[in-house]
Amino acid sequence: MNTIAVCERDDALRDVQVMCGEYGMPIKVELRLESNVRRDRYGSVKGRSAETDEFTIGAMPFTNNPDRRQLDKAGLREYAEAMAYTATQDWIDQGLTYESIDAERTTIIQGDTRYRIVEKNALSQFLDAFLYVVLNLRRL
């Protein structure tokens, strides 16, 4: 890919990030990393630290009780209680790729409500990158 295409892709990722940050609903992400897990010499989980890495990102839109049409449009199959479109660049800035967003270790907090990730999907491909990460959420 040439330099102009890379610059265009990066600009598109940043534009979506700015739009979600300015106009979206702020959600807090609590992330428990593998480094917070203690393992024995056989690789089994011995314990988990209560510490989490936290950061805030914008979700635009954040939809409570999405209907089937909205879920299908986002490429999600399971019904959940909420759905959030987040900017891929927000995750990249935290050192995470789409593949490394672990639903089992991630908690999403919106207002006073805590959610777990049921399903995720990447949307809006621009060259070799997806601009959005859509999260399908269920209350804890």
Distance in angstroms between the alpha carbons of the first and the last residue of the chain = 43
Write b or e for each residue in 117-139: b if 16 or more Cβ atoms lie within 10 A of its Cβ, otherwise e. Answer: bbbbbbeeebeebbbbbbbbbee
- What predicted TM-score, i.e. pTM, was given to this entire model? 0.85
CATH number at residue 22: 2.40.10
Which amino acid type is present at position 61? P
pLDDT along the chain (140 residues), means of 10: 90 94 94 72 75 88 92 90 95 89 86 93 91 93
In angstroms, the CA 94 to CA 57 distance is 10
In angstroms, the CA 8 to CA 127 distance is 9
Q: How many domains, in total, are found in the chain?
A: 1
Question: What is the pLDDT, as a whole number, of residue 49?
Answer: 67
What's the token pair of residue 120? 């995720």
Domain carrying residue 12: 3-139
